[in-house]
Structure 1
Amino acid sequence: MFFQRGTQFPCEVIVNDPEVERLHRRVTHSSLTATAVTRKGLGITKLEASNRRSAQTEDYHPLPPGSEAHWEVVERILFIYAKLNPGQSYVQGMNEIIGPIYYTFANDPNIAFRENAEADCFWCFISLMGEIRDFFIRTLDDSESGIGAMMERLMSNLRHHDHQLWNRLRTQELRPQFFSFRWLTLLLSQEFDLPDVIRVWDSLFADANRFQLPDPSLHSNDGIAKRCYAAERFWLQYENSAALPSGGCPGTAQQSH
């Protein structure tokens, strides 16, 4: 696994100084217990507890002196972030956010960029968390920017665009907390393989309104949806053209100069 391998550019100050205590020796690892809801037919609903620490987690062991694993670099970034943000600290799931970012920088074909993967990853992670940090603050769950409000807007959009699916989820009592909580907080990083996650994120981060789900109740039936659909078809038709026609976008008046 990539994160268990040694990095090509370990932090020399840490790995070569015997007086510096490695972070993995200072941090206490704990095991989390999760509770799953199971239901068989019309029988009684049961809660089953399970230990979330797996054998794969145990494989994250430190490398010999003089070397450093990729997971140690990520651990250091998260540790520094927690120290710089004591009001939020580290919350479970942040490691899933930073993973694809670090992987991308650490595998850059340019060796100079790979050498600075830790610093670049740190600042990109800081920037991204600045946009989604409210998702990881429990006291803000019910605020307008919190994860609770985001899940409500997601379900409102689903009800507006696919009422049949929304009704199916409602009748089966599949609350958004059961599935969309992880989708939104971890940005789908747990739903796809890493190459697919990077591709999804590439499109997500290119959108200026990436974390703003619209409220469908605020839109009226004044033809805006039809005009947007027409514009979308127009751009799809000419996206590979060298030049666009001079007639202007469909559904809009041509501006005079």
Structure 2
Amino acid sequence: MSGYKARLSSIDHILNADIIHLSKLKELSLGGIPDEGGRRALSWKILLGYLPLQRTKWKDILDQKRCQYQNFIREMVVDPSLLSKSKSSPEVEDHPLNPSPDSQWRSFFDDNQILTQIDKDVRRLCPDMMFFQRGTDYPCLQVVGEEGVERLHRRVTTETLSAAAVTRKGLGINKIEASRKSVATEDYKPLPPGSEAHWEVVERILFIYAKLNPGQSYVQGMNEIIGPLYYTFATDPDLGMRQHAEADTFFCFISLMAQARDLFIRTLDKSSSGIGAMMDRLMKNLKHHDTQLFNHLQSQELKPQYYSFRWLTLLLSQEFDMPDLIQVWDTLFSDNGGFGYLIQICTAMIVLQRDTILASDFANNVKLLQRYPPIDVRIIIQKGLKNINFKKKKIS
């Protein structure tokens, strides 16, 4: 049996067991999960903690979560008045200037501010591929059915977006760094009544997430993280799973954001779990693996904020095309927490460009790292895995 077939057999053995051997699944996921037969989608749901390790519990969990998500759609998208009615007193007169947080007008203004930014971001999601512009085979019937409601993108007012709406709560992606990925020349268009594009589904997921997390709400850049999750589940070869891609993406996104949320909160930038600490960890790791390269970057005053800010906060989603990115995420999701593998992958990206960096000036190095050159992503992953294995051996 070839090495590849043996790998497939091992993963199938784990995924079909009554009790999932999590550590073995993580080990086999390092470097990439074979995607035939929906192995990746299923593995991600396990690795992100959406599905329990006991197979017998899967059906009940999935039924429960998917039903719960349908209720979220009904309460927050189809008929949001259900929430306001449950909160507000019928004796209190509501009006646009009512300062009460329970005011329906206040809720309308807040929703519009959130939707304006979400709508803007999802209409340009992954412009290098046609997927998000296409229609889903499983549109939400509560929205597009015979008694459908006004689409979220139609609820956005045409008023000028206020500065507060785009102020970073934790993710300042619009810094001097530029994305390697292409940018859509024009916004995606909604599909005709009775159908909906994949970007509209993502918009709904992010809106519901923002409503359920008012303290954090939606932060620009979350669209880049949820995109690969939804794409993976919405292209699952298992049609039974694919039709529930929206609900499954929502709960896996919650799980992923539970790990990454501190990177999106400005007040935690300098905390031990914030983006500042993550960049410090990256630089310390680079110094450990290649002191000469580290010193060269230091001598040029090429700060990690200029390039690694986006790498770390967006989990490298802007640095690679989708097929390559999901292979990287196979490895990232195999981590035991703390994004240690992410640090190693980012370190490998820098070290693999050492000759060019050592021979270049500040301006060219900034350009190089902000727009990382095309490379076989397997080389980066293998280099990162060597760093991981080296670290494990040193600890042991």
Shorter chain as denominator, the TM-score bin is 0.7 to 0.9
Percent identical among aligned pairs is 68
- Give me the CA root mean square deviation: 3.0
Distance 2:139 2:155 in 1: 18
Name the TM-score, length of structure 1 as normaliser.
Answer: 0.73
- Report the CA distance shift for 1:28/1:148 in structure 2 as closer, same or farther (over 3 A): farther
Q: Matches of 1:60 and 1:203 in 2, distance apart?
A: 31
Are 2:207 and 1:79 aligned?
Answer: yes
Q: Which shifted more, 98-107 or 23-32?
A: 23-32
- Which structure shows the bigger proportion of residues in strand conformation? 1
Does the residue aligned with 1:56 lie in a helix, a strand or coil?
Answer: coil
Which residue of the partner structure matches residue 6 of structure 1?
Answer: 135
Please tell me the residue identity of whatever aligns with 1:201.
Answer: W
Paired residue type of 2:155 = R
Q: Does 1:62 align with 2:194?
A: no
- Quote the residue 1:140 is aligned against: 268
Higher RCO (Cα < 8 Å, 6 or more apart): 2
Q: Deviation digits for residues 127-183 of structure 1, max 9, x if unmatched?
A: 000011000000110111111111111111111211111112112221111111111
- The 2-side partners of 1:8 and 1:164 are apart by 53
- The reply to whether residue 113 of structure 1 matches residue 241 of structure 2 is yes
Q: Counterpart of 1:158?
A: 286
Q: Kindly tell me: are residues 179 and 123 of structure 1, through their superposed partners in 2, closer, same or farther at Cα, counting changes over 3 Å? A: same
Q: Which residue of 1 aligns with 2:224?
A: 96
Q: What amino acid is aligned across from residue 135 of structure 1 in structure 2? A: L
Contact 1:150/1:213, CA 8 A, preserved across alignment: no
Name structure 2 gaps, 5 residues minimum: 1-129, 167-172, 344-388
For residues 87-118 of structure 1, give each alpha carbon's deviation from its aligned partner in whole angstroms, at most 9, with x where no partner exists: 11111110010000000000000111110000
Q: 1:165-210, CA deviations, whole angstroms, 9 ceiling, x for partnerless residues?
A: 1112112221111111111111111111101110010011012135
Task: Decide which structure has the larger Cα Rg and report it.
Answer: 1
CA distance in 2, matches of 1:162, 1:197: 25
Paired residues of 1:77 and 1:118 also in contact (CA < 8 A): yes
Residue 171 of structure 1 aligns with which residue?
Answer: 299
Structure 2 CA distance for partners of 1:35 and 1:176, relative to 1, 3 Å: closer
Instruction: Indicate if the aligned counterparts of 2:210 and 2:216 stay in contact, CA closer than 8 A.
Output: yes
Indicate conservation of the 8 Å contact 1:100/1:194, yes or no: yes
Helix, strand or coil for the counterpart of 1:197? helix
1:28 shift after superposition: 5.0
Q: Distance between the aligned counterparts of 2:308 and 2:215, measured in 1?
A: 25
Q: Specify which structure has the higher proportion of helix.
A: 2
Q: TM-score, normalised by structure 2?
A: 0.48
CA distance in 2, matches of 1:159, 1:17: 61
